[in-house]
Amino acid sequence: MKNPVNDYALDLIWRHGRSFNGWLDRPVPETLIRAVYDLTKMGMTSANCSPARFTFIGSSEGKERLRPFLMEGNVDKTMSAPWVVIISHDLDFHEKIPELFPHNPGAKDWFANDEHRHLTAFRNGTLSGAYLMLAARALGLDCGPMSGFDNAGVDKEFFSGSEDTRNWRSNWLCNIGHGDDGTIFDRSPRLAFEDACQIL
């Protein structure tokens, strides 16, 4: 029988988790970023298709490549974050199905239709981006997810130069680091169960 996690874990991941706009001057080592991914990849996706792709940018040079494609309001908080992640999905994810779904390698053919494959990539890639934020919070980091950038420009700059990445498509960005509490607003309201849910 499984037991629920304790209140500290619930606070860390859910109740006190916020979207940060500013960052403390505390380094985040690459080993911790790799640990975030190692948790993220365990999240569930359809037929274990795992279409999400993550471009972790920690260097000044990498951030400068990203800068021209950011909405003005996202520039400073991204440039100052220890890491920014381009959360993307691979439109050719199905090529890895035989490796990822070995008990039924023929499942690759489930995604032969372009429209179905692209929708599956987008849906499950988005889901994995949420797993990424939960993994980061679980490991003591803070997140600042955002849209507000030129997707086509990012895709051309970061993905078009390699055969391995040419079918990656950016979805959204997430800054990662140790958040500065002075840069967040009071928590906004959330919908009550009665306003957002139904039981049938």
Give the tens place of pLDDT for each residue, 44-68.
999 999 999 999 999 999 999 999 9
Average the pLDDT over 13-24 and give the result.
94
Q: What is the mean pLDDT of the chain?
A: 96
**pLDDT tens per residue, range 117-172:** 999 999 999 999 999 999 999 999 999 999 999 999 999 999 998 999 999 999 99
Domain ranges, ordered by start, for the chain: 23-179
**Rounded CA gap, 14 and 52, in Å?**
22
From residue 39, give the alpha-carbon distance in Å to each of 45, 74, 129, 188, 189: 14, 27, 12, 28, 29
| Fold designation for 23-179 | NADH Oxidase (3.40.109)
Note the pLDDT of residue 185. Answer: 85
The alpha-helical segments, DSSP class H, found in 21-150 are 30-40, 60-66, 72-79, 97-100, 114-138
**Residue 1: is its pLDDT beyond 90?**
no
In the numeric block, the tokens 């599956």 are attached to: 120
Note the pLDDT of residue 149. Answer: 97
**Rounded CA gap, 100 and 111, in Å?**
14
**Residue 42: is its pLDDT beyond 90?**
yes
The predicted model scores a pTM of: 0.95
Note the pLDDT of residue 111. Answer: 94
Share of the chain above pLDDT 70, in %: 100
**pLDDT tens per residue, range 78-127:** 999 999 999 999 999 999 999 999 999 899 999 999 999 999 999 999 99
**Residue 4: is its pLDDT beyond 90?**
yes
Instruction: Tell me the residue type at 88.
Output: S
CB contact burial 22-35 (16+ within 10 A = b; e otherwise): bbbeeebeeebbeb
